[in-house]
A and B are shown apart, each in its own frame.
Chain A
């Protein structure tokens, strides 16, 4: 059993035209036992930036709190908001600091940069970053997620099409994975703000 598969998760981020979307499932379990169907894995950092955290639930929550602390400090000192690229580098740095006793977490970053262009990235648990133009995934059904995204993604999707694509890719992927699912949530970030929608999926 891998510690990264203890609680279960599925996260996707996709780039659209002047928008990004990030989606996650809702399950929290301890191995085969499901404990919650409303466990948050995607966290809003500011109006243009969200981060999804897949992996050990305790580290998911701790990293969210730590990132919030670091972002607040940055905003107080710099008197401006952190950009997605800087955030990604910060997160990578924080993970590598624990190189020999890591956080068991694989994050997915989704945001709009200062010019309103999409920025998505993922990294492994020790901070090796992978930036992408189309989509990034993380979780216990990574293979399924990659397959669905590769099939469904197309360039320059607007926010409604992006939502549909994310929803279909996520729901189809988690159905074949015992450790993720129980519904999902999709967030679409545009320059106007964030719109979040709950997904109804198979409750098993």
Chain B
């Protein structure tokens, strides 16, 4: 049934779906997982590096995490070639905004621009959509630290914590129970943002990094977490108020992985 309505981006199916866009989203579910977590003093993005060959020359700084401007970075899941185009678009947009207004671009503005660019490929031209999902981590003065997710349809939303790529549903369900849980809770109800009592308490960056590693452990199901397979990125502010984009080095990543292992061992999980 879908066969007749799925080969053109510019055609709705009778059920009101855009199949090409949905197939693009499927392509991303085969890509390396990326988890993003908003903390009270920063944003954390952890990604699974899919090592295809030991003969591969090392990527520039990263194949998953890309700086867009002094106060925003994104993490990629999906077709790297498609991602490169969009990352360049985002960098140009951020640069032009800063040139025009002599001010850093508000993060939502940047995300929306990239998403509008993606959306055009779902409506005009007969070209296929981009097979990329992004996590955007950024800081601006009006809204502080923010985390956004976008997909091939050009849709985006802001998150406190989210996962893209392979096994993202497993990651998301773990985040639902673990994000913002205080120590007293037994953690099996879904947390809601109702107020100070029983509400979500944002983790700090260190806690968020550990939680991110925990999520990746789950989504990589069975594979042993190690610095070669994980890339841990944090964004924080330094004393002058400028953003610090940091990819943890091997020693720091090992330390976090070890902490997470110790935590899970002591709480009796297998």
Interface residues of A, Cβ cutoff 8 Å to B: 65-66, 68-69, 72-73, 76-77, 79
Asked whether B69 lies within 8 Å of A72 as measured between CB atoms, the reply is yes
Q: A66-B99, A69-B96 are in contact. Are A76 and B60 (CB under 8 A)?
A: no
How many residues on B have C-beta within 8 angstroms of the other chain's C-beta atoms?
A: 14
CB A1 to nearest CB in B, in angstroms, measures: 30
The number of A-B residue pairs with CB atoms under 8 Å apart is: 23
Q: Which residues of A contact B102 (CB under 8 A)?
A: 65
Residue from A65, A76, A79 in contact with B68 in the complex, judged by beta carbons closer than 8 Å: A76
- Sample of 18 A–B contacts (CB below 8 Å): A65-B99, A66-B99, A68-B99, A69-B95, A69-B98, A69-B99, A72-B69, A72-B70, A72-B95, A73-B91, A73-B92, A73-B95, A76-B67, A76-B69, A76-B91, A77-B88, A77-B91, A79-B60
Q: Which residues of A contact B95 (CB under 8 A)?
A: 69, 72-73
Q: Which residues of B contact A76 (CB under 8 A)?
A: 67-69, 91
The complex places the Cα of A66 from the Cα of B100 at a distance, in Å, of 10
Q: Which residues of B contact A69 (CB under 8 A)?
A: 95-96, 98-99
Interface residues of B, Cβ cutoff 8 Å to A: 60-61, 67-70, 88, 91-92, 95-96, 98-99, 102
Asked whether B61 lies within 8 Å of A79 as measured between CB atoms, the reply is yes
Closest 4 CB pairs of A and B: A69-B99, A69-B95, A76-B91, A79-B60
Q: Which residues of B contact A72 (CB under 8 A)?
A: 69-70, 95, 98
The complex places the Cα of A76 from the Cα of B88 at a distance, in Å, of 9
CB B220 to nearest CB in A, in angstroms, measures: 27
